[in-house]
Amino acid sequence: MMRKIFIGWMMLISFSAFSQTDAKMKSFVDALMKKMTLDEKIGQLNLLTPGGGIATGAVVNSDVESKIKTGSVGAMFGTIGVDNIRRVQQLNMSNSRLKIPLFFGSDVIHGYKTTFPIPLALSCSWDMNMIQKTARTAAIEASADGLSWTFSPMVDIARDPRWGRVAEGAGEDPYLGSQIAKAMVIGYQGNLKDSTNLLACVKHFALYGAAEGGRDYNTTDMSKVKMYEYYLPPYKAAVDAGVASAMTSFNEIDGIPATGNKWLLTDLLRKQWGFKGFVVTDYTAINEMIHHGSGDLKQVSAMALRAGTDMDMVGEGFLTTLKQSLKEGKITLQMIDDACRRILEAKYKLGLFNNPYRYIDSVRAAKEVLSADKRQVSRDAAVRSVVLLKNENQTLPLKMNGTIALIGPLANNKSNMVGTWAVSGDSKYSVPVLEGIKNAVGSSANILYAKGANITDDADLAKMANVFGEKVDIDPLSPDQLLQQAVETAAKADVIVAVVGEASEMSGEAASRSDISLPSNQTRLLEALKQTGKPLVVVLMSGRPLTIAKESQLATSLLQAWFLGHETGNAIADVLFGNYNPSGKLTMSFPRSVGQIPVYYNYKNTGRPQDPGKKDKFRSNYLDIDNSPLYPFGYGLSYTNFNYSNISLSDTVTSANKTIRATVTVTNSGNYDGEEVVQLYVWDEVASVTQPVKKLKGFQKIFLKKGESKQVTFNITNEELRFFNSDLKWVSEPGRFTIYIGGSSDASNKASFILK
Ligand code: NOJ
């Protein structure tokens, strides 16, 4: 009884504390808005870039200084560095009439100046603490350098590796994607109370990852059930975690561009989900609605505001047309006020009205930017992001003796290691693999090196990959000379380590590929190396799953290394020599061929399911290829082995308000200590909306010493059994459920129960 009263009091106190802060903010913003002219209100809705950083569209703004002075700018991005930011804030504070502080944003996507693995790589760690720590660390570093807003996390679910932006997301699964979205928002924002935090921005709302044909900026179209079940959950998870802002996507939804889509931005985001932050467009997304076919600049700007967009990134459509639209009655003053209020509230929450220079502290910048502790986080994250796909004859880990031939265009390369979307990450701080290996072995082993091939010999592809600086350097030696050197070098070694892959800018924004194989000159290199008869360890770098059926055959061992950031070389060496036993698991399926795309683990059976491994007439299969991916979602090996016991269920019958416990014993039966990601999948066998053969509903990453066993238990409540029905209600239905527990989505260890 006493406890109940106490809890009641606590709730009352915290509720009133919350509403007091809210009320204070409201009266502050009310008072400020009373003083503001219409132009000044519209000015707050304007986000400009002077063109620093990476421009991701054709336009950058002009005359930014005078716009700031007249109060026509609400926030800036592309201004980097504490001194630059101070100058711009000073310009604003000493010239604009109402002295409303600006806030400063940037694409802090996988680290700020210290670069971490690309997000797709990080997701393969399945390590939420680690992921949260990378976001926290990036926030500390970026906020020390004057920033207060990051355009991250990118949580777009994607089933199509042709789309280059899969590099920036967390893969194909909504459950895992939601956990990661939450971890990142918490990591960036903390409680937003002190100046080590950033406003986060969930993007790209919504469905950007479903661009048709994997072609960037393309149309999307899907049923609402599919949207709710598979694509929307990570955005919702970010909202539930309190994300301060959301960025609209470039694509249309149901024929209406996301930036002008009232159903999306108001009905779903604000009304259904209770989002309290502000909505910013993607780069010139309002203007792009003209090309979509939604009207001229005045029309599309009004449409965006009416839909619930608050801030216009770069396009200046709001700035130049909203006043006229208001006169014509196309929008209301209330709409402008609402948007302006949301921006001012963000500034209030950042504490900028108390101190516009709160984030601008050169002492902090000098201490935090590129500090040693951040590099350590980068290395810890990097080793956890590597996925071991194959390890014949236990070739890995390598012994630190004899002669190792390190070959390949990415083996001694700095410029690609930071990966795509590392706007502030300077390649000069990258540790190349050659250096990392030399650091690790010292004089214990002899390391030979040859480049072996260019990343690509295709001049057009190289040109596109080099837009942000040289990523593909064409060697003065001819391809044949490079190859010959490599073979001669390999012949002198006991083992070959070939570091091959894409250039970093062959994935990322506007980097879709219709052919996602390894460039053919590199496959030729691997074939020649294989001919030497030496064990061939392939370290594959890419921003997406590649089609590597042939290369995986050639490799004795295969490590999927993505792009791992500044500490790449040291991290790869840690894994190669077994200082770290790989524990990553794929978060996107690896297709056997492009023709199989989309290929994903949570597929539906169809009415004519393929008999696994068999091709039959009148079955849902291809004539020429199996339906299964080359490597499935959730897959990844270790230097040790993990055995799973049968699943034991606490009951075989359950009901909506009961919990079933599913337990397995996992044993490390190999020769190394190691970590395993134990995964739980659910199959709802009969439902009013057909369900996929498996849905991830839980995972636990555990550490087992060699020889050790651990019990792992999953609690299965009604929540894990629900789906979106055709009324878009989140329901469970009675019937039989089968669960699978194992180390990959192809786990066959199963048990069934009935939901009454
Ligand atoms: C365009 C990209 O789509 C988005 O992700 C990014 O945040 C903005 N440009 C700003 O750089």
The pLDDT tens digits for 646-661 are 999 999 999 999 999 9
Q: What's the pLDDT at 194?
A: 87
Cβ atoms within 10 Å, residue 756: 10
Query: Which of these ranges, 257-271, 454-468, 609-623, has the smallest mean pLDDT?
Result: 609-623
Tell me how far the alpha carbon of residue 503 lies from the centroid of ligand 1, in angstroms.
20
Task: Answer yes or no: same fold for 372-590 and 642-755.
Answer: no
In the predicted structure, residue 16 carries a pLDDT above the cut 60:
no
Residue with tokens 């949580």: 155
Given the residues 156, 282, 310, 312, the one annotated as active site? 282
Assess whether the C-beta atom of 720 lies below 6 angstroms from ligand 1: no
Convert 100-149 into a string of H (helix), E (strand) and C (coil): CCCEEEECCCCECCCECCCHHHHHCCCCHHHHHHHHHHHHHHHHHECCCE
Band (9; pLDDT cuts 50, 70, 90): very low
Collapsing DSSP to helix, strand or coil, 487 comes out as: helix
Q: What's the pLDDT at 7?
A: 45
- pLDDT, one tens digit per residue, over 711-740 is 999 999 999 999 999 999 999 999 999 999
Considering the chain, what is the average pLDDT of its residues? 95
Assess whether the C-beta atom of 151 lies below 6 angstroms from ligand 1: yes
In the predicted structure, residue 1 carries a pLDDT above the cut 50:
no
Q: What's the pLDDT at 726?
A: 98
Assess whether the C-beta atom of 368 lies below 6 angstroms from ligand 1: no
In the predicted structure, residue 3 carries a pLDDT above the cut 50:
no
Q: What's the pLDDT at 59?
A: 63
Tell me how far the alpha carbon of residue 400 lies from the centroid of ligand 1, in angstroms.
44
Of 382, 436, 440, give the one whose Cα is nearest residue 412: 436
Band (13; pLDDT cuts 50, 70, 90): very low
Tell me what the mean pLDDT of segment 346-372 comes to.
97
173 carries an active-site annotation: no
In the predicted structure, residue 17 carries a pLDDT above the cut 50:
no
Rounded to 5°, angle at Cα 414 from 142 and 433: 110
Cβ atoms within 10 Å, residue 661: 12
Tell me how far the alpha carbon of residue 150 lies from the centroid of ligand 1, in angstroms.
11
Tell me what the mean pLDDT of segment 216-232 comes to.
98
In the predicted structure, residue 55 carries a pLDDT above the cut 60:
no
Phi-psi region of 314 (alpha: psi -120 to 50; beta: other; left: phi over 0): left
Band (612; pLDDT cuts 50, 70, 90): confident
> What CATH number labels 642-755?
2.60.40.10
Q: What's the pLDDT at 696?
A: 98
Assess whether the C-beta atom of 509 lies below 6 angstroms from ligand 1: yes
Distance between CA atoms of residues 176 and 187, nearest Å: 16
CATH fold label, 372-590? Rossmann fold (3.40.50)
- pLDDT, one tens digit per residue, over 363-411 is 999 999 999 999 999 999 999 999 999 999 999 999 999 999 999 999 9
In the predicted structure, residue 505 carries a pLDDT above the cut 90:
yes
Q: What's the pLDDT at 52?
A: 55
In the predicted structure, residue 558 carries a pLDDT above the cut 80:
yes
Buried-exposed string 622-656: b where 16+ CB fall within 10 A, e elsewhere: eeeeebbbbbbbbbbbbbbebebeebebeeeebee
Return the domain boundaries, the chain: 1-32, 372-590, 642-755
Burial class (CB in 10 A: 0-12, 13-18, 19+), 367: exposed
Band (614; pLDDT cuts 50, 70, 90): confident
Pocket test for ligand 1, best of 76, 109, 151, 218 (most atoms within 8 A of CB): 151
Distance between CA atoms of residues 302 and 300, nearest Å: 5
Band (61; pLDDT cuts 50, 70, 90): confident
In the predicted structure, residue 29 carries a pLDDT above the cut 50:
yes
- With pLDDT > 70 as the criterion, what percentage of the chain qualifies? 97
Band (146; pLDDT cuts 50, 70, 90): very high
Ligand 1, residue 203: give the atom nearest the CA.
5
Assess whether the C-beta atom of 429 lies below 6 angstroms from ligand 1: no
Instruction: Output the furthest CA–CA distance in the chain (Å, rounded).
Output: 83
Assess whether the C-beta atom of 56 lies below 6 angstroms from ligand 1: yes
In the predicted structure, residue 107 carries a pLDDT above the cut 60:
yes
In the predicted structure, residue 21 carries a pLDDT above the cut 90:
no
Pocket test for ligand 1, best of 109, 247, 312 (most atoms within 8 A of CB): 247
Residues whose CB falls within 8 Å of the CB of residue 166, separated by 6 or more in sequence, listed in order: 120, 158, 160, 209, 507, 543, 544, 545, 588
Distance between CA atoms of residues 563 and 654, nearest Å: 45
